[in-house]
Chains A and B, each alone.
Chain A
Amino acid sequence: MTLDAVILQVLAGLATGGIYASLALALVMIYHATHLVNFAQGEMAMFTTYIAWSLINAGMPYWPAFLLTVGIAFILGMFIERIVIRPVENAPVLGVVVVFIGLLVILNSVAGWIYTYTIKSFPSPFPRQPILGIHYISAHELGAIGVTLAVLALLYGFFRFTPLGLAMRAAAQNPESSRLVGIRVGWMLALGWGLAAAVGAVAGMMVAPVVYLDPNMMSGILLYAFAAALLGGIDSPGGAVLGGFAVGVLENLLGAFVIGNELKLAVALVLIVGVLLVKPSGLFGRVYVTRV
């Protein structure tokens, strides 16, 4: 185990960590709006990435296709909330979770049915050659990390400084009082879903060039993204991103030098259980105290 090898593993870990971070961010968004963890988040991201792929294949340049996809994802997310989630709004948590899982299976199968299961390469907007002569992290991976951080900054600004962001936070935390001061809570929830879907679409388009586009591209990533979001604090966007990088690096270092590659997935699971046992709010999450 040389220092070189460690540095290389850390760099590779940051690159995959960026992938986890972007999806973790989308998970946090939904949690922000609904206080639920959306198991279909990965499949929503996958599906919108296919939409982007279709647009690009139809001849649209990358960035317009990117923006259009984010827009479509936003509308699709709101649509899903209105049509699928609304009717089970007052159902017990487990019922909602089942709906999420149903959504996951449906989106996965429909994508497979339309686009087949053969892997497709997805274009990257970033240069093919590595930047600054660093071979261990490709230009795309660096760019994707940049995009994730930019999305994080945008979200922070939106929630912190805009009235709409404030209204959304209020609607999630205290629906009754929000309704009394005139916030349309239902629409805020739909907006939250739209935003989460849009963030997920960005994640999908950043992930696809690395892991290739296929209907199952998110299934492996989602578990790590859960670990990342929990580690950072499920309601903290910044924490989720940091958690993503931490999980990526930790997984690589432990896999390469300590426990072996066979147990890499176990790292994520141990993290999930560990965080829930020791510090359920995560590293940066807010601790909620409820009077009973």
Chain B
Amino acid sequence: MKTKLVCIGAMLAAFAFPAAAQKKYDPGASDTEIKIGNTNPYSGPASAYGTIGKTIDAYFRMVNDQGGINGRKLTFISYDDGYSPPRTVEMARKLVEQDQVLFLFQTLGTPSNTAIHKYMNLRKVPQLHVATGATKWNDPKNFPWTMGWQPNYQTEAQIYARHILKTRPDAKIAVLYQNDDYGKDYLKGLKDGLGDKARSMIVAEASYEVSDPTVDSQIVQLQSSGANVFFNITTPKFAAQAIRKAYDIGWKPVHYLNNVSISVGSVLTPAGLDKSAGVISTAYYKDPTDAHWANDPAMKQWQAFMKKYYPEGSLINAFSVYGYTVAATLHEVLRMCGDNLTRENVMRQAASMKGWRVDTLLPGITITTSQDDFAPIQSVQLQRFNGKQWELFGEVISGN
């Protein structure tokens, strides 16, 4: 009897052990679950971005309804940090130490991510696909646990600079920028892109603080400089104010608007669609208001997803396409991880994407990463607003 039991035990062990050898888990992962942490500004000054967190949550609910990833359900724990870095620190610690998530995903905001940058790398917990375009997230040597996702601000600004040099060699450029890391990152990109000509071409720079009620005074200053090109580095509310004010005072420069504020619904409509005509920006994912994509299968699929899983969201809000696209990217990373759900493997797989794409990205734009390239999306396409919608023009341009 005893031998029989031992025999069965040995047989069980023989079956169980190879499987156990394949399955590897860090805190937050198990046979049934993957815990993902996130912070988003659901309240406070940047709360328009909260839509992204809600869309990601909806996407993961859809994945779970379809059976999860490799049989595991996703648990998405997303806390409100009100866009306040100290609260991001508090929430990140709670997520890592109490909730025991496998990694953080899409934590939003340049200052917020800066605040937890060192902590995450010290704890060796991935800070994956952060929702900010600052250039510093692509630094695998010093910060191997942090990775960005969207094209970074410097790359984008360099592309504008190249376009200015090509189309307007006599440009006199005025810059309005938010006085923080994000604004200065763009400004640096522009100057790098202009090279030797930066000094002579940029005739005026004006900054604003997030606490300023309006940027009217700055726009008047910039107009007085006699500039014929305007580079508008502002977040949605100020972008709308700047577009409107420039139009109202009769200033008609060639207007470049950073990708941060291209939402038709929350920027150009409040500014006035007629007043926004002619504004140039970049895009890397499909705009939900663009009639061009009306019959696009990927956008149709996105709409169906929105209606079923995020009905209170808006079908014209570009942030929801962003959230959907970045969540799809993580979906792929976790699929690639298979049964090896360690923090190290999550980073390794995230850094092994080769020309992968999801069809909500613009045609020709792909995601490629490697052990020393932590910048997933590096190309964009220029677009111009025609008074009704964005129109893409030119080729897909790569940043490097």
Do A and B actually bind?
Answer: yes
Given A4-B224, A117-B47, are A212 and B249 neighbors across the interface (CB < 8 Å)?
no
> B195 at interface (Cβ–Cβ under 8 A)?
no
9-residue interface stretch from B120-128, B207-215, B334-342, B355-363: B207-215
| Set of chain B residues within 8 Å of A12, measured between Cβ atoms | 216-217, 220
Q: How far is it, in angstroms, between the C-alpha of A81 and the C-alpha of B216 when the chains are bound?
A: 36
Partner of A9, one of B50, B207, B209, B220: B220
Q: Flag if A212 contacts B218 (CB, 8 Å).
A: no
Q: Flag if A255 contacts B217 (CB, 8 Å).
A: yes
Closest to B44 in A: A216
> A252 at interface (Cβ–Cβ under 8 A)?
yes
| Set of chain B residues within 8 Å of A219, measured between Cβ atoms | 45, 211
A-B contact count (CB 8 A): 100
| Set of chain A residues within 8 Å of B269, measured between Cβ atoms | 121
| Set of chain A residues within 8 Å of B216, measured between Cβ atoms | 12, 15-16
Q: Flag if B212 contacts A8 (CB, 8 Å).
A: no
Closest to A256 in B: B221
Q: How far is it, in angstroms, between the C-alpha of A256 and the C-alpha of B205 when the chains are bound?
A: 11
> A178 at interface (Cβ–Cβ under 8 A)?
no
Q: Flag if A265 contacts B220 (CB, 8 Å).
A: no
Q: Flag if B217 contacts A221 (CB, 8 Å).
A: no
| Set of chain A residues within 8 Å of B43, measured between Cβ atoms | 108-109, 112, 117
Contact with B along A248-292 (1 / 0, CB 8 A): 000110011000111011000000000000000000000000000
Q: Flag if B214 contacts A16 (CB, 8 Å).
A: yes
Q: How far is it, in angstroms, between the C-alpha of A210 and the C-alpha of B237 when the chains are bound?
A: 11
> B189 at interface (Cβ–Cβ under 8 A)?
no
Q: Which residues between 250 and 283 of chain B lie within 8 Å of chain A, taking CB atoms?
A: 250, 265-266, 269-270
Q: How far is it, in angstroms, between the C-alpha of A19 and the C-alpha of B216 when the chains are bound?
A: 13
Q: How far is it, in angstroms, between the C-alpha of A138 and the C-alpha of B224 when the chains are bound?
A: 18
Contact with B along A1-14 (1 / 0, CB 8 A): 01011001100110
Q: Which residues between 1 and 41 of chain A lie within 8 Å of chain B, taking CB atoms?
A: 2, 4-5, 8-9, 12-13, 15-16, 19
Closest to B319 in A: A118
Q: How far is it, in angstroms, between the C-alpha of A221 and the C-alpha of B211 when the chains are bound?
A: 8
Partner of B179, one of A210, A224, A262: A262
Given A8-B224, A112-B43, A262-B179, are A211 and B213 neighbors across the interface (CB < 8 Å)?
yes
Q: Flag if B209 contacts A265 (CB, 8 Å).
A: yes
> B53 at interface (Cβ–Cβ under 8 A)?
no
Q: Flag if B212 contacts A220 (CB, 8 Å).
A: yes
Closest to A105 in B: B43
Q: Flag if B209 contacts A264 (CB, 8 Å).
A: yes
> A214 at interface (Cβ–Cβ under 8 A)?
yes
Contact with A along B364-380 (1 / 0, CB 8 A): 00000000000000000
Q: Flag if B48 contacts A265 (CB, 8 Å).
A: no
> A119 at interface (Cβ–Cβ under 8 A)?
yes
Interchain Cβ contacts under 8 Å between A and B, 11 examples: A112-B47, A117-B44, A212-B270, A214-B237, A220-B212, A224-B213, A261-B208, A261-B209, A262-B207, A264-B209, A264-B217
- 5 pairs of A and B residues whose beta carbons are closest in the complex: A117-B47, A121-B270, A5-B224, A252-B217, A220-B211
Q: B residues near A, CB below 8 A?
A: 43-45, 47-48, 50-51, 179, 206-214, 216-218, 220-221, 224, 236-237, 240-241, 248-250, 265-266, 269-270, 317
Given A15-B216, A223-B211, A262-B179, 17 additional A-B pairs, CB 8 A: A9-B221, A16-B213, A108-B43, A109-B43, A116-B47, A118-B265, A119-B236, A119-B237, A135-B248, A135-B249, A136-B249, A216-B45, A219-B45, A221-B213, A224-B213, A261-B179, A261-B209
